[in-house]
Amino acid sequence: MPRTPDYFNGKTIVITGAASGIGRATALIFAREGANVVCADVNEDGVKDTAEKVNEIGSQSLALSIDVTSRAAVNNMIELTLNGFGRVDFLFNSAGAAIRRSKFLEIDDELIEKTFDLNFKGTFYAMQAVLPHMLKNKAGVIVNVASMAVKRGGPNTSVHYAAAKGAVNSMTLGVAREFAKDGIRCLSISPGPINTAFAKAAASSPELIKRFLEDIPMGRFGEPEEIGELVLFMCSDACKFMTADTVYVNGGGGWR
């Protein structure tokens, strides 16, 4: 939570992957705090539903059907945000997925390219699009979603995903250090298994779910809201000295 009452009131956050899961939960949390919320996602119906929920809470929203793998679309996302709200204070890059599970020797060119396009390039494009505006304001916070898979390497199921999220972590560190003197902070969050569409997809493999749960001392998956509240803290004035870090949110597991 912020140190200053009404800190988020009237400020603007752009959230990719806002149609569901962590992105949607974070949108509603920022709406609760009075922020303007730009909801972006390739899922047009889902992103409209999130924006409507933001409006119901009492905050202003903008629903954008955006494919983050397109640089032009991401540039347009930031331009539309500036046209609608005049500024961007926070960017939360939540869009991402493993696309599909695969053993390492079965990862083909199409899978590796799609995985990096969505998880790495989508984040890269959004950061490049918003940073010039943040530099003008000498302020801004960018939060990216990495993964505990970076620590595990994703053997047998998702080396491609772990590699892409590892690239996100490295980019977060570099951008944070390059722009720290300009009043811009950049952080990432590395979640363990969260109750999202991603976890539901993994549920098609009971053995995978069992393995995940056995590795979590808390004995449960995390909830999207638990990540959203962390994003709120990272963006707040209670967190001004924190940058270039990733925060592991995993119920105590995910290290083996």
If we measure between CA atoms, which residue out of 119, 150, 240 comes closest to residue 187? 240
Angle subtended by helix axes 109-116 and 159-179, to nearest 10 = 30
If we measure between CA atoms, which residue out of 160, 173, 155, 217 comes closest to residue 192? 217
- Widest distance between CA atoms in the chain: 53
**Based on the number of CB atoms within 10 Å of its own CB, is 199 exposed (0-12), middle (13-18) or buried (19 or more)?**
middle
> For residues 135 and 59, what is the distance between their CA atoms, to the nearest angstrom?
26
**Residues forming a β-bridge with 190:** 248
CB atoms within 10 A of CB 110: 9
The Cα-based distances of 85 to 66, 89, 161, 236 in angstroms read 18, 10, 34, 19
Annotated active-site residue 161? The verdict is yes
> For residues 240 and 54, what is the distance between their CA atoms, to the nearest angstrom?
26
**Residues forming a β-bridge with 93:** 16, 144
Q: What residues act catalytically?
A: 161
